[in-house]
Structure 1
Amino acid sequence: MGLRERVDALFKGPEEFDLTDGSIGKPLFFLSMPIVVTNLFQTAYNLADTFWLGQYSTDALAAISFAFPMVFLLISLGMGISVAGSVLVAQYTGASEAREAEYAASQTITFALIASVVLGGVGYLLVEEFLALMGASEAVLPMATSYMEVISLGLMFMFGFFVFVALMRGYGDTITPMLVMFGSVVLNIVLDPFVIFGWGPFPELGIEGAALATVFSRGLALAVGLAIMFRGTRGVQIHLRDMAPDLTYLRRLVRIGIPASIEGTGRALSMNLLLFIVAMFPDPVVAAYGIGTRVFSVVFLPAIAVARGVETMTGQNIGADEPERAAAAAGLAAKVLFGVLSVAGVVVFLFPEPIVSVFVGAGEPDAERVIEVGTQFLRIVALSFGFIGVMRAYTGSFRGAGKTLTAAAISVLMLGVIRFPIAWFAASEIGETGIWLSFAVSNVLGAAIAYAWYQRGTWREGDLTESKVDVDDVSLEAGTTDD
């Protein structure tokens, strides 16, 4: 039995369950589990960089703490295209309209690559000014700048792979992206120490080496992903004949995608604004903040994965005119995630110091201070983890239904209206502890807002079924001939 067969037997592919009929829990589980693993691999990129750069120097660790929010911002500005593509593919797949799904996927790839080139160019030109504005110290700024210049030039490879994952997920295939991500992560982890420390024939490139390893491994993953979609043997297929830019279709992608970009950009801006506050404190606090946010990225993997699963289930059930199944999936996901993440939060609350210590070099002069601050950060936020799961489940359902503006509004309320103001005022009164408290408070209130908004039932009055994105008026004139 080959690797693919073994993985299919373990996770089950989309051909073995129907998202629009039968039980809800089983297909949601098998849809979400590979996403959990894929996101774990995704996080491994950041964790590998954090681990090796933590051994390299405290300044390098602080530098990547500044760089990561900017990476997130650049990707978030373009993420609406991938969300729109995923929603369209899911809804057309649920409606059994394969040709429209293929056209949607092909157009999404085209405009995603164009957007990533533009955003990468802008990021490259403005990176140093942006990081300086965020408060990077003189010791940290050159390293953070060199890292982001490489990432900006390679943004097409990073963002292109995210789009591949989103389109395959919309179709219901979450196993193939997981396997491609696995190979890419292994390559990145192997390359990191060689190019950071200059092992073997490689020069010592420090933080710039970590960026080069990430871009190279992502580029290879994108090439594999495109080959899979062009072949069409797994997931949704794309065609060269459908990839000529269609401005009519671009308007459809923009209509769905702009609110999703606003949501993602709001999250990214929140991270950067918080970093602006964090930068008022010494570098050990900045390093602890970077460690804490990366730990959260691991802990929240189930929430992100299940939310993506709910997004796909909602999209396909809207396409199949089954909105009640969409609602049931969101409710089940919210309950399960609250329980799972609450347990994880208790574990982190009880054992924060060993977790933080993993990412700090023992010989660094500020190691004890970084561990102390990072421990406090994790302990304050840990018991609010379950509420993140609730919010993610409901916003995932809104996105899958095409209600991306609603998901964006909830995100902006949580991050811009609640988290940032609390952090700003509390930090001036009680120091960095105020920043950590802003995370806990906003997590709880964000869940309450999402739950209350969903329970209003406005989607039951027609919003979900009307968000099928005009399946019947898709312009397919450019793609009606056979390959």
Structure 2
Amino acid sequence: MKSIDLTKGPITRSLLAIAAPLVAGNILQGLVEVADLFFVGRLSPAAIGGVGLAISVIFVLMTLIIGLAGGTTAFVSRYYGESNYPYAGRVLIQALILGFILSVVISVVGALFADEMLSLFQAPVDVIIEGGAYLRVLSLGIVTLVEFWIVSTFFQSIGDTKTPLLIILVINILNIILDPVLIFGIWLVPPMGVSGAAAATVITRAFGLGIGVFLLLTRLNAQMEFTRHLEADLSLMRRILRVAVPNMVQSGVRSVSYLVMYVIIASYGTLALSAFGIVSRIEMFALMPGFGLATAAAVMVGQNLGAENPDRSEQSVWKALELYGGFMAIITVLFLFFGADIAQFFDPSGLSDAYAVSYFQIVSPFYVLIAIAIVLSFALNGAGDTKKPMYATLVSYFLVQVPLALILPALTGTGLAGVWYAMAIGILVQTVALYLMFRSGKWRNIRI
């Protein structure tokens, strides 16, 4: 366990030193998502669509946690950059308390109202049945995912990205092993179907959380003084939430609009849902390495603002944009040329391939813009300026993407392809808005 001083030295080296373990961890996480999709895909197209639908609902419920994680990064990185280590530790304790409270809310809503929420999509009955089974199990164990996420965020915010990488490596290997055991049933274990995939995720995250807490208490307690700050600090919680809530809204808008898109796509049938379930998971896997770069940029922004060096913060962001944009350009080429092969790998029946290929052809050319939007959004959040990304997301999703997804298919006669065009236009609007907001430089003077 060793943190890196991100306020000194060559920017590229500092950025990559933090980003490399994050990228590796995100790739590992993406492999688990792909493994889940691979095994679930062996059940039925309805299972693919149901799990994709359930994950979309979980994303909406988890927006509270996404915002909390962003607030934790902003505070911990800022205090760590100021060398105020005990207060950074105090932030973690408050974030864990808030995370537990929010987890209880998510568990109750997800477990009790799984079928009702999935029914809002007007998806076929078989898709709702599969999605409900997955959603209930994941909701009941969501606290393990939430608290593990917060602990990992803390490590990353102090510049130690290797520790969470090693933990993720261990638990993801365990997850891939448990997937077929719990889904199909092996030896004395009865087959659980899609519920097995959710159970594997919950079990492995609980194991990872235990490792993380053990390391915090045995390796960092002397510096961070965790055990001295176990009580709730309502004043600090309010400050964290003041930064986190706009991030929660931003994530909520993105997730709700994603759900609305699922409702729209559901009107085109099970095969369209299956295709969207495939491409969205593959797309997330492709984006995950860049999330590591974006997170590293956010940590560098926070620590260097804490050290009163905003110029270094901005330079870190431009370097992250350069690296991530180049990577996504390569991904675009791969999807354009091999989209059909990728889709057929996950749906051996080949029935949903045409829908998936049309998505790749229309949306993947905008992947570089997605990279720019992600980095700029993370950077602003890392500075504690969380309202601007919220505004950009509100406009691009609710005022552009969703309305166009309802209008373009009938207006242009393109059918489902019109929905893909709406998504591409929304990406363009969001990227332009975030670029203008970041270039204004107001984030340099944010106080949290």
Question: TM-score, normalized by length of structure 2?
Answer: 0.96
Aligned partner of 2:402 in structure 1 is 420
Residue 351 of structure 2 aligns to a residue whose secondary structure is helix
Aligned position for 2:178:
191
Correspondence 1:451 to 2:428? no
Matched, 1:409 2:391: yes
> What's 1:481 paired with?
none
Alpha-carbon shift at residue 430 of structure 1 (Å): 2.1
DSSP-derived class of the 2:119 partner: helix
Question: Counterparts of 1:48 and 1:196 in 2: how far apart (Å)?
Answer: 12
Alpha-carbon deviation of 1:234?
9.4
Q: Distance in 2 between matches of 1:40 and 1:418?
A: 31
Letter in 2 for 1:448: V
- Name which of structure 1's ranges 99-108 and 444-453 shifts more when overlaid on structure 2: 444-453
1:324 aligns with 2:311: yes
What are the superposed Cα offsets for residues 16-39 of structure 1, whole Å, 9 maximum, x if unpaired?
A: xx3112221110111111111111
Q: State the superposition RMSD in angstroms.
A: 1.7
Distance 1:179 1:238 in 2: 24
Tell me the SS of whatever aligns to 1:220: helix
Matches within 5 A, 1:92-111: 92-111=79-98
The reply on whether 1:379 has 2:361 as its aligned counterpart is yes
1:87 aligns with 2:74: yes
Q: How does 1:110-149 map to 2 (within 5 A)?
A: 110-149=97-136
Q: Is the 8 A contact 2:86 2:225 kept in 1?
A: no
Give the structure 2 partner of residue 287 of structure 1. 274
Aligned to 1:350: 337
Q: Distance in 2 between matches of 1:436 and 1:199?
A: 40
For structure 2, the 5+ residue unaligned runs are none
Deviations 1:457-479 (A, max 9, x none): 333xxxx3342x2xxxxxxxxxx
The 5 A counterparts of 1:20-35 are 20-35=7-22
Paired residue total? 446
CA distance in structure 1 between the partners assigned to 2:221 and 2:357 by the alignment: 44
**1:174 Cα deviation from its structure 2 partner:** 0.9
CA contact (8 A) 1:384 1:444 kept: yes
Contact 2:86 2:223 in 1 (8 A): no
Check whether the contact 1:168–1:236 (CA below 8 A) recurs between aligned residues: no
- Residues 377-406 of structure 1 show CA distances to partners (whole Å, capped at 9, x for unaligned) of 112111111111111121111111100111
Which residue among 212, 227, 249 is the counterpart of 2:214? 227
Residue aligned with 2:83, SS: coil
Q: Deviations over 1:79-105 (max 9, x none)?
A: 222211121110001001111111111
Q: What is the aligned partner in structure 2 of residue 397 from structure 1?
A: 379
Shift of 1:444: 2.5
Is residue 124–residue 149 contact of structure 1 (8 Å, CA) maintained in 2? yes
Deviation at 1:235, TM superposition (A): 11
Q: 1:465 aligns with which of 437, 445, 448?
A: 445
Among 337, 341, 345, the alignment partner of 2:328 is 341
The one-letter code of the counterpart of 2:332 is G
Secondary structure at the residue paired with 2:62? helix
Residues 465, 232 of structure 1: alpha-carbon distance in 2 compared, 3 angstrom cutoff: farther
Output the CA distance in 1 between the equivalents of 2:231 and 2:221: 23
Aligned-partner residue type, residue 443 of structure 1: I
Partner of 1:440: 424
Q: Which moved more, 1:221-230 or 1:154-163?
A: 221-230
Residue number in structure 2 paired with 1:359: 346
Structure 1 length normalisation: TM-score? 0.89
Q: Name whichever of 76-85 and 323-332 sits farther off.
A: 76-85
Distance 2:230 2:72 in 1: 13
Q: Distance in 2 between matches of 1:143 and 1:212?
A: 14
Give the conservation status (yes or no) of the 8 Å contact 2:21–2:165. Answer: yes
Q: Which amino acid aligns with 2:134?
A: Y
CA distance in 2, matches of 1:93, 1:303: 24
Residue deviations 1:270-325 (CA, integer Å, cap 9, x gap): 21111010111110110000101011111112321111111100000110001111
For 2:357 and 2:291, locate their aligned partners in 1 and report how far apart those are by CA, in whole Å.
24
What percentage of residue pairs aligned between the two structures are identical? 26
Structure 1 pair 235–408 and aligned structure 2 pair: CA distance change class (3 A)? farther
The answer as to whether partners of 1:321 and 1:465 remain within 8 angstroms in 2 is no
The residue type paired with residue 357 of structure 1 is Q
Cα deviation 1:32-86 (Å, max 9, x = unaligned): 1111111122223322211101011111111112111011111112222221112
Structure 2 Cα separation of the partners of residues 169 and 304 of structure 1: 13
